[in-house]
Amino acid sequence: MANPAPEQALEQARSAAALAKQAAELAEKYAEQAAAAAGAATGVDPTVYRLAIFVLAVFVGYYVVWSVTPALHTPLMSVTNAISSVIVVGALLAVGVQAAPAMGDGPLWAKVFGFIALILASVNIFGGFLVTERMLAMYKKKG
């Protein structure tokens, strides 16, 4: 069979691309209709779905953390402390620094949430150092 001319191949590719685009648009339309129908049929608020995902993530995280071997626990705690230190910096900014003079001090709820984040991240860092010290003590020679 003879090869088609480059112009013919180009035209065939363009027509195939146009058909694929039409098919994708039609599939997107059907997917939107299906999602709207599923949401209307169940009558469940999307917040409930998000809450369910959060609860499942908590359980998965719990089992993942407790299945980590002790040899890996110390490096993971160090990473957790580093992340918490970034949270402390952000919380300090939320609590005490003005973003711009025109904005003023900022809303009170931002300062309250920043303070709560500061306290929780500080407790996490302190606990992480305690756990890390305890884990490192396991590797020291006795006597």
- The pTM (predicted TM-score) of the whole model is 0.45
Q: What is the mean pLDDT of residues 23-51?
A: 75
* pLDDT at residue 125, as a whole number: 84
Q: What is the pLDDT of residues 17-36, one digit of tens each?
A: 888 888 888 888 887 777 67
* pLDDT at residue 93, as a whole number: 81
- Model confidence at 46: pLDDT above 80: no
* pLDDT at residue 82, as a whole number: 77
* pLDDT at residue 29, as a whole number: 84
Q: What is the pLDDT of residues 75-111, one digit of tens each?
A: 776 777 778 888 888 888 878 766 555 556 667 787 8
Full 3-state SS string of the chain: CCCCCHHHHHHHHHHHHHHHHHHHHHHHHHHHHHHHHHHHHHCCCHHHHHHHHHHHHHHHHHHHHHCCCHHHHHHHHHHHHHHHHHHHHHHHHHHHCCCCHHHCCCCHHHHHHHHHHHHHHHHHHHHHHHHHHHHHHCCCCCC
